[in-house]
Structure 1
Amino acid sequence: MAILHAPAAGQRVFITGASSGIGLALARHYLRQGAIVGVTARRTDLLYKLAAEFPDGQCLPYQADVRDAQAMQATAQAFIQAAGVPHIVIANAGVSCGTLSAEAEDITAFHTIFEINVFGMLHTFQPFIAAMRESGLRGQLVGIASVAGIRGLPGAGAYSASKSAAITYLESLRTEMQHDGIAVTTIAPGYIRTPMTDVNGYRMPFLMEVDIAASKFAHAISRRKRFVVIPWQMGWVARILHIIPHWLWDRLTRNAPHKPRIEL
């Protein structure tokens, strides 16, 4: 059954982490719908390749690291000057790898994951909020979290904690934006086929292709949903995870597989 979306033609959308995975799929989705899309990543070669697929001025590529607040301020201003205040800002940039608190060399990975997954979200949204307020646009801030943020997963302390922090941050932000008419949407994906999940050597239930996921994300965004888990099957899993008692969670995860530890 086809998913119907609000028309994106004429919309302005800004997406971080758009060089691959979910970010790239979302950028393609909105570009194909006729939106003007600003895309950012640390690597620009893939962004320029994407921009070349569409008419001049429709896809606006920017090199920026979401860990750098000043760079994100400059990028936001450049997009606003080129295209106008965005209707939708999607903080998608994120990283993941296995981490173990017992390993001293993983401390750097903990810092990197939090800097990108949590502070990067703040650095993405903050430069646009005042402009959205002043424009009266009733815009929308979208954060890509994860089902992994609902319970702590073994071998993924940094990633689970960062996504849990993102979920809570986005809820706080949503309550703050109420008086301005700015919607805040939290999307918590399950397993989506991307380079981030390709390294997993274990079974991933309800694995979804990235283009299908992007379409469903866009549908939730168009409905200005507050919180959504995609795919829907993982929504039920998330509900169950939330109520499992601690002793049972410990038993279930005692011998669970770990995500590979890699250098970020």
Structure 2
Amino acid sequence: MNLSPGRADRVFITGASSGIGAALAREYAARGACLGLLARRRALLEELVAGLPHPERHRIYAVDVLDRDALAGAAADFIAAKGGADIVIACAGISHGTLTERPGDLPVFDAVFATNVNATVSTFAPFIATMKAQQGPRRLVGIGSVAGVRGMRGAGAYCASKAAVHSYCESLRLELRGTGIKVVTIAPGYIDTPMTRNNRFPMPFLMPAERFAAQAADAIARGARYRVLPWQMGLVAKLLRLLPNALFDLAFARAPTKRRQGEA
């Protein structure tokens, strides 16, 4: 098996029905991959697969990533059908503005962490034993965010969940060192998807989802440990890490907030 840049034979993607997940599905299909595509909405998955090259190669799973048993079952079916997996991408994610002082937002915190963090673990877990026994390049890919670099006003749930994804993938990378499985963290900046179109503030360096998918696939093939896309947001992320807390607070205390769930 040979992973040329961005090329894989067997790729399993959660959150595949729209946004970044769908863009990655189209990118990998164009590069000749066999896909396992998982999301809640079967109709969107069927529509996506119908437009891909060689739709007969791909398998779809209408599964909620919060259903751990169903997710494990989908992973087992894909492994049995394709003989393993070369790349597993935990792409399912949700984003809502949250305010800790609002009791109604506490369930939103739970939902964001369950989808963005816990489901990432549930996505990887069923594949690890099989991937350890395989030969050739193998990748587990967590989708983080530039939002995980510093906490932003009104986005506590989303920022904290993506920071958790970054730390979790870092821990997993150390755990799997020497097994042949590389853990890759991709941290998108602003990518043009249905999720970001709901934002009510300027989005610098907004990147088309198709361009993001192509660059992400290349970074995954190289086994990059951590990659921010687009590169301009990588520079922003480095500056945010270096900014003293007092200056950070002064600069962002009045920044516009993310739209809360149900907010017009």
1:33 positional shift:
1.1
Question: What CA distance in whole angstroms lies between the structure 1 residues aligned with 2:54 and 2:227?
Answer: 33
* Aligned CA-pair RMSD: 1.5
SS in 2 for 1:180: coil
Structure 2 residue 76 is the aligned partner of structure 1 residue 67 = no
Structure 2 residue 98 is the aligned partner of structure 1 residue 104 = no
Match of 1:93 in 2: 92
1:1-264 alignment runs, 5 A limit? 6=4, 11-53=9-51, 54-263=53-262
- What whole-Å deviation, never above 9, does each CA across 1:99-140 have from its counterpart, x for those lacking one? 000000001110000000000100000000001112234411
Amino acid at match of 1:51: V
Question: What CA distance in whole angstroms lies between the structure 2 residues aligned with 1:104 and 1:60?
Answer: 41
SS in 1 for 2:45: helix
Note closer, same or farther for the CA distance 1:9–1:223 as it changes in structure 2 (3 Å cut).
closer
1:8 positional shift:
6.1
Amino acid at match of 1:210: A
Amino acid at match of 2:24: L
1:55 positional shift:
2.4
Note closer, same or farther for the CA distance 1:46–1:9 as it changes in structure 2 (3 Å cut).
same
8 Å CA contact 1:132, 1:138 repeated in 2: no
Give the TM-score normalised by the residue count of structure 2: 0.95
1:10 positional shift:
6.3
1:77 positional shift:
0.5
8 Å CA contact 2:182, 2:223 repeated in 1: yes
Note closer, same or farther for the CA distance 1:10–1:22 as it changes in structure 2 (3 Å cut).
closer
SS in 1 for 2:195: helix
1:51 positional shift:
1.6
Identity of aligned residues (%): 49
Amino acid at match of 2:118: F
Question: What CA distance in whole angstroms lies between the structure 1 residues aligned with 2:171 and 2:127?
Answer: 17
1:253 positional shift:
1.1
Between 1:129-138 and 1:75-84, the stretch displaced more is 129-138
Question: What CA distance in whole angstroms lies between the structure 1 residues aligned with 2:173 and 2:84?
Answer: 19
8 Å CA contact 1:31, 1:58 repeated in 2: no
Question: What CA distance in whole angstroms lies between the structure 2 residues aligned with 1:90 and 1:28?
Answer: 14
Note closer, same or farther for the CA distance 1:110–1:50 as it changes in structure 2 (3 Å cut).
same
8 Å CA contact 2:7, 2:221 repeated in 1: no
Amino acid at match of 1:28: R
Give the TM-score normalised by the residue count of structure 1: 0.95
